[in-house]
Structure 1
Amino acid sequence: MDADPPTASPQAALPDWAAVMRRIAGGDALAFRCLHQHFAPRLHRYLLGLGAPAARVEDLVQESMLRAWRAARMFDPGRAGAATWLYRIARNVHIDSLRRGSAVVCGEELPEHLASALHEGGDGASAPEAYVDQLGLGRAIAALPPVQARLVRMSFLEARSHSEIASELGMPLGSVKSSLRRAFSRLQRGLGAAAA
């Protein structure tokens, strides 16, 4: 009679992404499906955090995953983890999408979400106000101590779990959680003061 497998912690349940990438490089579609199921929702949140228009995010995620499939042989776990590699691909896909856009202001490309906001009013905020809000958040994150800024980016923009962050950075889970609480508290105070 088979015994039940031992209960694993959520962190231990995550696959070895470097091994998954090696299988994908060999053409393993099931390994790719595993990668896609785990990272597609995270890339979706990450791209929204970068300001990609909601109507285009799913296409950008699919393009990112397709590029990962095609470039799997180029993945080098010695240079970056699979998550970092995938987020970089998604960021590049987003930048390529912006470069292909046709809206231009003062010689610079206008991101699609801002160009559409100029014509649609949206939630009541004008495109310049939305852009200033995004810039304000970026500045507020940059003003945090470096470790806190990195934790906020990993948690919010990259949609990493606290356990994933702790594992990747070699920090105790409690330290990650308390540092994020302090960082979000500082962000709230900083953005509240800027709005006043």
Structure 2
Amino acid sequence: MYPHNSAFDKISYEEADLADLLQLVAENRDKCAFARLFDHFAPRVKGFLRRNGTAEAQLDDVVQEVMIKVWRYAERFDPKKGKLTTWIFTITRNVRIDLLRKENRPEPDANDPMLVPTPPVKSDDAVYANQAAMRVADALDDLPKEQADILRLSFFEGKSHGEIAEHIGLPLGTVKSRIRLAFDRLRNSLTELEL
């Protein structure tokens, strides 16, 4: 499906690190840098598409098309104009619109959340969001490995509880229990951090 060593060896990158990886792709066609970008963004793009109504059978094809465009047009990204994440999800939105047009569906609804541009983020909000994300990541790192892994599969890769159970070979009830326990621990950790 997607090239990576294991479902559990996800690395969290800062936005600047991701932009540096794309720069390597743009300048040198660095396949290793692209593989890291792919590992980081492919599951997120897939989850985004799934949440926004893309048919399950089309998800992998659309993700591949998005990542091919990232490879082909890497040199077009300008960090002065916005974040890499925004650029990639704009590509995702456009690929989704193209898919809808190819299927001869009616024009997309102007009220579709995928078509509404995101408002600019205030710098204070961005700082707070970054700090909050770091606190959540720290709290996630404090969880037992099996709980953290299940949360990553569920919320970062967008897998259903049933898919997780099948993927790691545990009963569905055990997966649900671990998610519930992990949420309780996260909630307690984040409450202590006043988040």
TM, length-normalised to structure 1: 0.50
Change (3 A) 1:12 1:75: closer
Structure 1: 5+ residue stretches without partners: 1-9, 112-134, 143-148, 151-166, 178-196
| Moved segments of 4+, more than 4 Å | 10-15
Identity level (%): 33
Q: In structure 1, what residue type is equivalent to 2:20?
A: A
> Which residues in structure 2 correspond to 1:151-170 (within 5 Å)?
169-170=126-127
Q: Name the CA distance, whole Å, in 2 between partners of 1:92 and 1:14.
A: 22
> Which residues in structure 2 correspond to 1:73-84 (within 5 Å)?
73-84=75-86
8 Å contact from structure 2 (residues 15, 84) kept in 1: no
Change (3 A) 1:53 1:72: same
Compute the displacement of 1:13 (Å).
Answer: 6.9
- Give secondary structure in 2 for the equivalent of 1:79: coil
RMSD: 3.5
Residue 90 of structure 2 is matched in structure 1 by: 88
8 Å contact from structure 2 (residues 97, 108) kept in 1: no
Residue 30 of structure 1 is matched in structure 2 by: 32
TM, length-normalised to structure 2: 0.50
Please identify the structure whose Cα radius of gyration is greater. 1
- Match among 127, 132, 137 for residue 173 of structure 1: 132
8 Å contact from structure 2 (residues 21, 33) kept in 1: yes
8 Å contact from structure 2 (residues 25, 34) kept in 1: yes
Q: How many residues align?
A: 115
Q: In structure 2, what residue type is equivalent to 1:99?
A: R
> Which residues in structure 2 correspond to 1:90-129 (within 5 Å)?
90-103=92-105, 108-109=106-107
Compute the displacement of 1:102 (Å).
Answer: 2.7
Compute the displacement of 1:15 (Å).
Answer: 6.5
Structure 2: 5+ residue stretches without partners: 1-10, 137-195
